[in-house]
Amino acid sequence: MTVYETDVPGVGRKFELEVGEGARLVVLMHHDGRRELFHRPNPDADSQRIVDLDGETARQLGAILTGAYFQPIELDRTQVPLGEAILEWVEIGEGSSIVGQTLSGCDVRNQTGVSVIAIQRGDETVPNPDPDETIAADDILVVLGTREEQQALQEFVDQ
């Protein structure tokens, strides 16, 4: 990522970050501590003001963006000992064709390839559910599988 810095006489300093194909995020830091945040969608467009921040709010936002409050897992950089498998939480809607069926009855594993490792039902968690566990509307299935298997499950439950 490229960051461009420019002095703005009588105002402060401007920073521009490339954030996409020709798009830039512009931060104007005033001498008085204010920060203005702008978005420029392409090189030919005018910058659109997003927000005006005081110094304290800007520092708090910066801390959030750097991960001081929450550090997400960046999947494209993470190697998991599960190979290509990932965990997902899939909510079962009222109209799903698998509502009222048991895990073995709807044959989730053979139909999609995922393994159901838990069911979240309201405040209750059913770990390692038995094959005769009945799936209810609003259940959340905790499943293990590849991205392709996860997609197959989503299509399967949406039927």
**What confidence tens digit (pLDDT) does each residue in 103-155 have?**
999 999 999 999 999 999 988 999 999 999 999 999 999 999 888 998 999 89
> Facing residues of 89 across strands?
142
Q: What is the pTM of this model?
A: 0.51
Q: What angle do CA 17, 22, 27 make, to 5 degrees?
A: 25
Measure the CA–CA gap between 27 and 109, rounded to whole angstroms.
50
Tell me if residue 71 falls in helix, strand or coil: coil
**CB-based burial of residue 41 (10 Å sphere; 0-12 exposed, 13-18 middle, 19+ buried)?**
middle
Measure the CA–CA gap between 80 and 112, rounded to whole angstroms.
21
pLDDT computed for residue 61 by the predictor: 87
Measure the CA–CA gap between 159 and 156, rounded to whole angstroms.
6
